[in-house]
Structure 1
Amino acid sequence: MAGESASFDDHEHDANASFIKNHEHAGGKKLSEEIAGMLGSLKPFPESPGYCIYKVSEPIRQSNEQAYTPQVISIGPFHRNNPKLQSMEEFKLRYLQSFRDRDKINLEDLVSAIKGAEEGARERYSEPIKLGSDDFLKMILVDAIFIIEFFRKNWSKIWTKYDRRILTPWLSSRVQMDLILLENQLPFFIIEKIYDIAFPSLSKDHPFIELTFCQFQYFNVQGYEPRDFWSSGIIILHFTDLLRNFCLPPCERQPERSVGIIKEMHSATQLAEIGLKFKKITSNSSTICSPLELKYADGVLEIPCFQLDITTEIHARNLVALEECHFPEDAYITDYYILLSFLIKTGEDMDLLVREQIIANWLDGVVATSMINKLSEKSFYSQMNSHYQKMAQKLNGFYASQSKLTWRRALFSTPLIGASAISAFLLLLFTCVQSLCSVLSLKYF
């Protein structure tokens, strides 16, 4: 009986093990099929140039929400449903109406052109665009025509009474700022395409890029011309990208970025206290300098002059955000603000550079200093402009050598002070020796 019972138990155990094994196999097969289905639902990764219009990452956005969010007008899909921006939608439609009626534009031709470029336009956005084809095309057409009309009116200085009644100086300036935000962009190529179709004769003599340079001339600190971009093979992705290129030196003057970062550097005031001289670099017709091109040699730090005003933070933050998303290997703007944050740590540092006419500050000193220090605080980086790295090492070396020299000069500034210092040192040494002898005498007594 015992043998039969054991045999029965063994059989039952084998049956349970077989059931569990089959169940696990079936469950594993089902799970693997679900995972395969998830992988199969992925859309193909976009071909180059791919994404170039991004939503700003949350950690960066938290530092200043408004710097990345349009305040009066939505361009593109990311903010089109923001209720605070709906008042400008009618204004955009009126611009489309005047555009069509004045220039006798065939909207059907424009729609057909956009339809052919729809896929390429969608691929420029980092987020899936949850709009059907018709709604997407309407958005592109309305927003692009508004931009073209706005730029043309500014270029030709032909503003109607209706324009002036709606576009007050404040609102016009704010529209300009909204047009440089990374999240508020249309692909440049689609606006250019619509412009070329709408104005085939005008576009030959005055291409859209010319109007764009005119519109953003305030940010064109190096006085670039469209031909400079053409000759260098620079392709404009959108307006934020254009403003970044305005800041960069020509390709042949862009230093390599290498592994390594600036971990420590003395501030402007600290450097000035031990003898460093600051000099403003001013561009002229023969030597146009990028704002990023600082120079150091023989105890003199040369810095291109720059202006701080209410537009600076919006401009700078969106360029840094673009680099984080699209140009992490070429983040020259980010490098620049990291370097400035080392130089400008306090209000005294800001005041020093203002006195040297390097900074034209239209902000409160504390606000300006805080802005500089916060611009790159959320940036994570392991590479940096190699020129800045070497310059920081030289400045740290200058500070160390000058500090020793300053101490020696202070110590031996007059024969009397030098003699007193030597006497004090000898007295201290004699006291230490005497104390040591006393201790040894007690030990062996």
Structure 2
Amino acid sequence: MSNNDGAAPNDTENASIPLETSIREKLQKLPPLSPSCFIYRVPERFRLRDNPNVYTPQVVSIGPLHRGKETLQDMEEHKYRYLQQFLDRTEENLLVLYTKIRDQEADLRSYYAENIKFCSNDFVTIMLVDAAFIIELFLNHYFNIANSTDRIMSAPFLINDISSDLLLLENQLPFFILEDLFYLEEVNRNSNSGVNGKVSFIQLFGKFFEQELGAVGADCNSEMVNFCEVRGAHFLDLPREPLVRCTRNEGTPIAPSITELHQAGVKFEVGSTRHLFGIRFNNGILQIPKIEISGCMVDTLRNIAVFEQCHYLNSRITD
């Protein structure tokens, strides 16, 4: 028997059963959130405010967030050539490398703020190929190794474009996987670089990004910096500590603008230090370090600033 509306009494209840099942299935499929994420998509408000290219790789894709973009395919073949170079130099077994990365897959995925859709095999391949590419690129640059078929080392403009892409927030690898692969015993034992002694990966990083790090006040002098103390989640995280020291405490008032200080009678001088935070005020004179910022450096600073605002309460570069 139907009710006055012509619908069976249990129709509404019955209709809710598949709906409830559907919602429960979605809830069960939700991936766990990690408290250790460090690599973010740039929030849309920054893209709308700035040129989108500031946050988008132009030459090379690193990591999963921009993998597969047609405009970045030209570099993929060269990345595999560097992987072959890595395998030849280390004499490491490809299966061993795959296993090493797969064993850390959950930790690697947790570094990304969003759920990575790639299957396990594809994700591990991305990590291996991109990590090997960066390691070989840094070694070639550090030891000035080049040959006639290496189109990257023989093209300075291309190295500059790649270095810019490597400092984009959406184009990062977890730093620990780069160190893990670099510090394989075979890397140092079988290195054919012809250079005596060992070099740390953070030294390679400092040399490759020497200009960019100098612009944000980082000290890349290997004799002055204890590179064993340098820790960071990825490349944009490394310039924060201990390469860059900051004495600003939480709750410190924001300083007036230069215009306001000038109107109040403050005089300005160029400081003698290159340290970004080496600002001194004495007897009405404010000493500010001289910082040379190129167009590419502006993009890097913006990416560091966005990373800080996504991840840290203490926004040093943003300040």
Query: Normalization by structure 1: what TM-score?
Result: 0.61
Select which of 126, 133, 138 maps to 2:113: 126
- 1:261 to partner: Cα distance: 5.8
Give percent identity, aligned residues only.
35
Residue equivalent to 1:275: 265
Select which of 154, 174, 177 maps to 2:141: 154
Q: 1:274 to 1:238 in 2, by over 3 A?
A: closer
- 1:240 to partner: Cα distance: 1.2
Select which of 28, 37, 49 maps to 1:51: 37
1:196-255 CA-partner distances (Å, limit 9, x unpaired): 224154799323222122222221434255963544xx5211111113447731xxx532
Structure 1 unaligned residues grouped into runs of 5+: 1-14, 284-288, 336-445
Q: Is the 8 A contact 1:247 1:290 kept in 2?
A: no
Select which of 324, 328, 333 maps to 2:309: 324
Separation in structure 2 between the aligned mates of residue 166 and residue 259 of structure 1, nearest angstrom: 46
Separation in structure 2 between the aligned mates of residue 165 and residue 118 of structure 1, nearest angstrom: 30
1:199 partnered with 2:183: no
Residue equivalent to 1:116: 103
Structure 2 unaligned residues grouped into runs of 5+: 192-196
Separation in structure 2 between the aligned mates of residue 30 and residue 102 of structure 1, nearest angstrom: 58
Residue equivalent to 1:10: none
- 1:42 to partner: Cα distance: 2.3
1:55-95 CA-partner distances (Å, limit 9, x unpaired): 10111022121111111111111111111111111111111
Query: Normalization by structure 2: what TM-score?
Result: 0.83
Q: Is the 8 A contact 2:60 2:165 kept in 1?
A: yes
Q: 1:248 to 1:101 in 2, by over 3 A?
A: closer
Give the counterpart letter for 1:228 in structure 2: N
Give the counterpart letter for 1:275 in structure 2: G
Query: How does 1:206-285 map onto structure 2 within 5 Å?
Result: 206-218=199-211, 219-220=213-214, 221-224=217-220, 225=222, 228=226, 230-231=228-229, 234-245=230-241, 248-249=244-245, 253-258=246-251, 265-268=256-259, 271-272=261-262, 275-283=265-273
- Matched residue SS, 1:279: strand
Residue equivalent to 1:139: 126
Q: Is the 8 A contact 1:247 1:292 kept in 2?
A: no
- Matched residue SS, 2:113: coil
Give the counterpart letter for 1:39 in structure 2: L
Residue equivalent to 1:77: 64
Give the counterpart letter for 2:279 in structure 1: L
| CA RMSD between the two structures | 3.2
- Matched residue SS, 2:176: helix
Q: Is the 8 A contact 2:138 2:205 kept in 1?
A: yes
Give the counterpart letter for 1:282 in structure 2: S
Give the counterpart letter for 2:199 in structure 1: H
Q: Is the 8 A contact 2:146 2:154 kept in 1?
A: no
Higher helix share: 1
- 1:307 to partner: Cα distance: 1.0
- 1:109 to partner: Cα distance: 1.6
1:87 partnered with 2:74: yes
Separation in structure 1 between the aligned mates of residue 254 and residue 287 of structure 2, nearest angstrom: 21
Q: 1:135 to 1:325 in 2, by over 3 A?
A: same
Residue equivalent to 1:334: 318
- 1:155 to partner: Cα distance: 1.0
1:311 partnered with 2:296: yes
Q: 1:104 to 1:315 in 2, by over 3 A?
A: same
Query: How does 1:354-365 map onto structure 2 within 5 Å?
Result: none
Separation in structure 1 between the aligned mates of residue 30 and residue 300 of structure 2, nearest angstrom: 35
Separation in structure 2 between the aligned mates of residue 28 and residue 88 of structure 1, nearest angstrom: 51
RCO higher in 1 or 2 (8 Å CA, sep ≥ 6)?
A: 2
Q: 1:222 to 1:87 in 2, by over 3 A?
A: closer
Q: Is the 8 A contact 1:244 1:319 kept in 2?
A: no
- 1:290 to partner: Cα distance: 3.5
Structure (1 or 2) with the larger CA radius of gyration: 1
